[in-house]
Chains A and B, each alone.
Chain A
Amino acid sequence: MERILFGDNQFFAVSHISDEKSRAQSIKFKDDQSIIRTLDYAREEGVNTFMCTTHERIANICDIIRSDPRKYKDFKIYPCMPYAHKYANAVTELGYVGTLKQYVPGNFFGSLFKGGVAFISKDFISIMELLIDSEMKMFKGINTPVIFLQNVITDLLLGLGMKDILKGFHDHVKKKYNAEPGYITMNMPKLLDLLEEVGISNPIICASINKAGFRMSGGKELYEKTLSTRQFRPIAMQVLGGGAISPGEALEYVCSFPKIESILFGASSKGNIEDTVSKIRLFDEENRVGEKLTA
């Protein structure tokens, strides 16, 4: 994985601190071209990985990327699925069975229904695989070396103790897409325990890691201990702690953990992208020099 990953919250009006900011972003990124332009700013800074939800608008972005293979030769997307609001709204409207009918592709579900709903539980993992395939359709022909399960689903499965389904995601992503499975979570230490229990070693886990202790469930201390003693491949997200800390201080903190493989961030403006990237590179360089000196 690259050191710096570019996120997509800003494109879809996701702000953890301000509804006004959300609306401003939603206005700014109304057109797909404005998203592409911002991705270009990130690419100019050497950030070639876009980590994004399987939001319907991403399908358009994928079309643009596919249409210019030269420009996007080194470009990678890390899909994060599912776009949970889509399914949550469908469940409210259609119920569980109706939602599955709507989103599980092909005739598989029709034939399943002939046998009665009891079959669903027996073949729940096959249904999940079909849902993954349907979410992955939009990325056809694009390099997607890591595929993530979104935090709402990861943490729901974690709370429900559905470890076989977490394992099912892992197995399908490896087998069908020849990609690395990743998990986004707000409960990093607990998730790592459960993944190890089902034999997933050294998993990619993207979690909120920040100096403010924001959304680090179980506590900052436990996170720091996990980062220094356990075997896994962490990606730090929400590094600004929802805006509670200054960017410099925030990035210095995450860069101080050698274990953290990648840092995920999102920004709307060219200036903020340049600033964040240069700060991460600077702290990384300082830490390398520091290591050499102590060696």
Chain B
Amino acid sequence: MIKVALIGAGKMGISHLAILGAHPEVSIVGVCDTSKMVTDVLTKYSGYNCFSDYLAMVDKVKPDAVFIAVPTKVHARFIKDMLERGIHVFSEKPFCLTPEEGESLVKLAKEKNLINQVGYHNKFIGTFNEVKKLLDEGAIGEIHHFVAESYGPVVIRKKQDTWRADPAEGGGCLMDYASHVVDLLNYLLSPVEEVFASKLQPIFSSMVEDAVYAMLKLKNGVNGILSVNWSDETHRKMTTSVTFFGTKGKIISDANELKVYFNNDTCPAGYSKGWTVKYVTDLTEEVDFYLRGEEYSAQIDYFINAVKGKVKNDINTFESAWITDKSLNLIRQKAS
């Protein structure tokens, strides 16, 4: 059994906790949150050993691994404290507020030889992994353009401000929302290297942007467009999609549906000239416990397996999330 503790029982933390609670190889040794209401409920109804001080918790219950799901502002400090104690870390995204903060943590995790993962769950979605396979094979020829988009209904009116509305705490559409699709782009094709233009656009928020628009150049030389807006209520929930234009065809994918067009017959097995449509239902492996999406369980399974030494710790590492932090930083700098 892997002994796991949770720091931060907000929405993502609780979701992780439920998946971990159902995991046959995990024993939950502690939960830490600053809300007494939350820890009271978790103590009474789940029987968890709850704490309000995260250091007191880990020093007492000595977990093998922790899940950190607290506001981004304190990621760096909390992660460092865990690594220094020799504890494996799964952190929520985005990784850190600045690339500088993240760089030392990447080094520290490597030095200490600890498993490190960040919760960019898109990499555990079947359609996006099929896109990666096609791109790696060069199936649609030379890529000359991409469009990366994400829309959803997070801030759809002027409202009470939480930490998500405070740029100093890691709030805003760039860090909280666009980070997903930027990270996906880094993974599928190549990291963002240059930002030609970017606009951080407030819509309903007063202190942060609700939309991010940018024109990007990736390390492999491909140019493309980023369009992200979390004030779009025409989407029931967050919808992320990517389109790649190549000399032999085109790929359009979101988390549910993959559409691929080939302009000739030399295409991979399972595809043919013209359009081929595949669904996530055919591309996703079942999980042992399901909550909100297979990817949330799959990323936790992967982390636990890495801690057990069963898989290599090479998806969503601190390093890859740090590269995404650097891309986000470039977009922010260009906008200012």
Binding site for B on A (CB under 8 A): 12-20, 22-23, 26, 85, 88-89, 91-98, 117-118, 120-122, 124, 152, 155-156, 158-162, 164-165, 186-187, 190, 212-219, 241-244
A234 to chain B, nearest CB (A): 17
| Residues in chain B near residue A216, CB distance under 8 A | 286
Binary contact track B280-297/A, C-beta < 8 Å → 1, others 0: 111000111111100000
In the bound complex, how far is the Cα of B38 from the Cα of A120, in angstroms?
A: 9
| Residues in chain B near residue A26, CB distance under 8 A | 234
A125, closest chain B residue (CB): B45
Is the pair B22, A190 in contact by a Cβ cutoff of 8 Å?
yes
**Is B218 interfacial (CB 8 A cutoff)?**
no
**Is B98 interfacial (CB 8 A cutoff)?**
no
A121 and B43 contact, Cβ closer than 8 Å, known pairs A159-B19, A214-B281: yes
| Residues in chain B near residue A190, CB distance under 8 A | 22, 289
Is the pair A121, B44 in contact by a Cβ cutoff of 8 Å?
yes
**Is B73 interfacial (CB 8 A cutoff)?**
no
A23, closest chain B residue (CB): B234
Closest 6 CB pairs of A and B: A159-B18, A121-B40, A242-B281, A186-B290, A162-B45, A217-B290
Binding site for A on B (CB under 8 A): 10-11, 14-15, 17-22, 35-38, 40-47, 153-154, 159-160, 162, 164, 234-237, 239, 241, 254, 256-257, 279-282, 286-292
Is the pair A158, B18 in contact by a Cβ cutoff of 8 Å?
yes
B126 to chain A, nearest CB (A): 11
In the bound complex, how far is the Cα of B288 from the Cα of A26, in angstroms?
A: 32
| Residues in chain B near residue A15, CB distance under 8 A | 256
**Candidates B36, B42, B239; contact of A19 at CB < 8 Å:** B239
A11 to chain B, nearest CB (A): 12
Is the pair A217, B236 in contact by a Cβ cutoff of 8 Å?
no
Is the pair A118, B280 in contact by a Cβ cutoff of 8 Å?
no
| Residues in chain A near residue B45, CB distance under 8 A | 121, 124, 160-162, 164-165
| Residues in chain B near residue A124, CB distance under 8 A | 41, 44-45
Known: A19-B257, A214-B281, A217-B286. 14 other contacts (CB 8 A): A15-B256, A16-B280, A18-B257, A23-B234, A85-B237, A118-B40, A121-B37, A121-B41, A155-B18, A156-B18, A161-B46, A219-B286, A243-B279, A244-B282
